[in-house]
Homo-oligomer: A and B are copies of this chain.
Amino acid sequence: MNTKNIVLEVSGRERILNAAASLFGELGYEKTSIRSISRESGMKPGSIYYFFQSKEEILLEIYASGFSLMTDIVLAAVREVDDPWDQLYSACAAHLEGIFEHRTFIEVTVRELPDRYSEPARSEMKKCRNLYEQIFSKIIDEIPLNHTVDRSTFRLSLLGSLAWTLVWYRPGGRLTPRDTARNMVDLFRKPCSSFGDNSL
Contacts and interface: CB of A to CB of B under 8 A. Distances in A.
Interface stretch (A12-20, A98-106, A183-191): A183-191
A5 interface: no
A118 to B, nearest CB: 10
Nearest to A117: B31
Interface stretch (A52-60, A73-81, A158-166): A158-166
Interface string A161-200: 1111101100000010000100110111111111111011
Contact of A194 (B146, B154, B168): B146
Contacts of A143: 192-193
A3 to B, nearest CB: 28
A132 to B, nearest CB: 14
Nearest to A164: B160
A116 B31 contact: yes
A147 interface: yes
B187 A153 contact: yes
A164 B153 contact: no
Contacts of A184: 153, 157
Nearest to A193: B189
A113 B154 CA distance: 25
A147 to B, nearest CB: 7
Contact of A193 (B113, B144, B183): B144
Nearest to A31: B30
Contacts of A187: 149, 153-154, 157, 187-188
Given A157-B164, A160-B162, A164-B163, A191 B194 contact: no
A148 interface: yes
A113 B193 CA distance: 32
The 4 closest A-B pairs by CB, nearest first: A160-B164, A30-B30, A157-B161, A160-B161
Interface of A: 27-28, 30-31, 85, 113, 115-116, 143-150, 153-154, 156-165, 167-168, 175, 180, 183-184, 186-197, 199-200
